[in-house]
Amino acid sequence: MTITDRLNATKAALALAATDSKRDLKDITLICVTKTFSTHEIEPLLEAGHRVFGENRVQEASGKWPSLRASYPNLELHLIGPLQSNKTREAIETFDTIQSLDREKLAYAIAEEISRSKKHPKLFVQINTGAEPQKAGTLPQEADKFIKICRETYNLKLEGLMCVPPVNEQAAPHFALLREIACRNNLTQLSMGMSSDFEIAIQLGATFVRVGSKIMGQRDYVT
């Protein structure tokens, strides 16, 4: 199977999951995660009409995407990996959406860069639903307070929430928790679900799923 075949198979699986969950397909966006893959490997997906992509590293993305954007101006790029506050400018130059807002220092840096650049990236707060020490994201018990600070102190407009559940646990309770936090904070967008669990995420209300290996194939190195 080519990458384009796997994109089509993934889109078919997504459509089936939407039907099974009585969800409207147009409320679910497939983000194709292209980290570690070259522009050469990404291009067939753009040729096939796909426009929404995710990367987890600012530096890698800022090397790869400007040339692709020149040829495909209407593409949409999501940052789904951790963001150091000193990379905020580069991130906002490269990405349309930042899904990894998770601490006040970063909220401050993003607000500063928005007012300087007049660019308005879409913003998701990442929640560390499994409270894993090594993982990025705001802790669930601190989420309401952090969301309030983003909105009231930094005047940031938030779209929704993102999570990456612990690898060795059932994902469903984490997706349900993310939805609960989003609901009580009036956030409508949920970025959850990856290659192995996007169907469950769709059942639980995902509006963005982030699919990498199922489309791109195995990555050569773990990131």
Ligand X SMILES: *Cc1c(COP(=O)(O)O)cnc(C)c1O
Sites of contact with ligand X (CB under 6 A): 33, 35, 56, 80-81, 164, 194-195, 210-214
Q: Output 83 or 147, the one with its CB closest to ligand X.
A: 83
Structure tokens at 175: 């997706």
Q: What share of the chain is helix, strand, coil (3-state, %, to 5)?
A: 45, 15, 40
The least CB distance from residue 98 to ligand X, in Å, is 12
The least CB distance from residue 33 to ligand X, in Å, is 4
**CA 19 – CA 88 distance, rounded (Å):** 39
Residue 188 CB neighbour total at 10 angstroms: 13
Q: Output 185 or 195, the one with its CB closest to ligand X.
A: 195
| Residue 138, CB-side half-sphere exposure with 13 Å CA sphere | 27
CB-nearest residue to ligand X: 212
The least CB distance from residue 136 to ligand X, in Å, is 9
Structure tokens at 160: 């929704």
Q: Output 22 or 194, the one with its CB closest to ligand X.
A: 194
Q: Report helix angle 172-184 to 143-152, nearest 10.
A: 40
Q: What are phi and psi of 156, to 5 degrees?
A: -90, 135
Q: Output 18 or 164, the one with its CB closest to ligand X.
A: 164
The least CB distance from residue 188 to ligand X, in Å, is 20
The least CB distance from residue 203 to ligand X, in Å, is 17
The least CB distance from residue 54 to ligand X, in Å, is 7
The least CB distance from residue 193 to ligand X, in Å, is 8
Structure tokens at 148: 């309030």
Query: With contact defined as beta carbons under 8 Å apart, do 137 and 128 qualify?
Result: yes
Torsion angle in degrees (nearest 10) through CA of 136, 142, 147, 152: -130
DSSP state of 207: S
Residue 111: name the closest of 77, 80, 157, 62 by CA. 157
